[in-house]
Amino acid sequence: VSDDKQRLTEHFIATLPLLLDKYRADPEKLANLLAIPQYFELDIYVKSRQERNLEALLEKIKGIVEKMHDTDVLETAARTLEYMCVETHAKFSQCDTARRTLIDSIVNKYKEAIDDYRNLIDGAETPDEDEIFNVVQSLKKVAIFYSCHDMNGWEIWDSLYKNIEDAKDATKSFPEEATKYCISACFFSILWGQNHLLESNDLGARGDDEARELH
């Protein structure tokens, strides 16, 4: 299996960014191509001095996520980035920085869209199709990336929960699809928080055991 991963990585390491460019208008091919790095031997980027191609791949993923709205493409991109951000990977820091930059972009787009939407509603105006689309699609990206990446550090829980509350008020006319994405994002926010608590408890228990061994 290791040999297969190495051959796959060596075959696509330089060409994948170019292929992502070539098929950027074809969601089905794009999703398939985006899945390939999940089978890479990531250390080859360092061993073969291919850091530039890693940077190019991360840039392509960012550009695709920012421009595309296809669910399969977004879900695959989120999973691939999750795989590339394993802490044991030699280039984790570079991948993690790229991930944070992308999540910054996703969150900022959401904040812009929801601010515009709320301002219209508060001013007794009716959002047009574009404004509704921006809210729904920005929340879709938030929900999809929350499922693979801990976004609690971006502190959007209150905003997401307000949307769910607004959905109960007919005068707010909050889109049903957007509400589903808010609920999904909140669900994963709770799971990430729970995961941190379990890890903290586990570390605390191990620390107590180690302290007892020292006495």
Interval 55-77 mean pLDDT: 98
Q: What is the pLDDT at residue 42?
A: 86
156 has a pLDDT exceeding 50: yes
Percent of the chain with pLDDT over 90: 77
Question: What amino acid is encoded at 207 in this protein?
Answer: G
Tell me how far apart the alpha carbons of residues 146 and 139 are, in angstroms, rounded to a whole number.
10
pLDDT, tens digit, for every residue of 12-62?
999 999 999 999 999 999 999 999 999 988 888 888 888 899 999 999 999
pLDDT, tens digit, for every residue of 117-128?
999 999 999 999
Question: What amino acid is encoded at 7 in this protein?
Answer: R
Orientation angle between helical segments 176-214 and 157-167, nearest 10 degrees: 140
Burial of 158 (0-12, 13-18, 19+ CB in 10 A): exposed
* Residue in 26, 20, 35, 137 with CA at minimum distance from that of residue 79: 35
- Radius of gyration, alpha carbons of the chain: 20
pLDDT, tens digit, for every residue of 180-202?
999 999 999 999 999 999 988 87
The dihedral of CA 92, 31, 20, 146: what is its sign?
A: negative
139 has a pLDDT exceeding 50: yes
Interval 99-108 mean pLDDT: 99
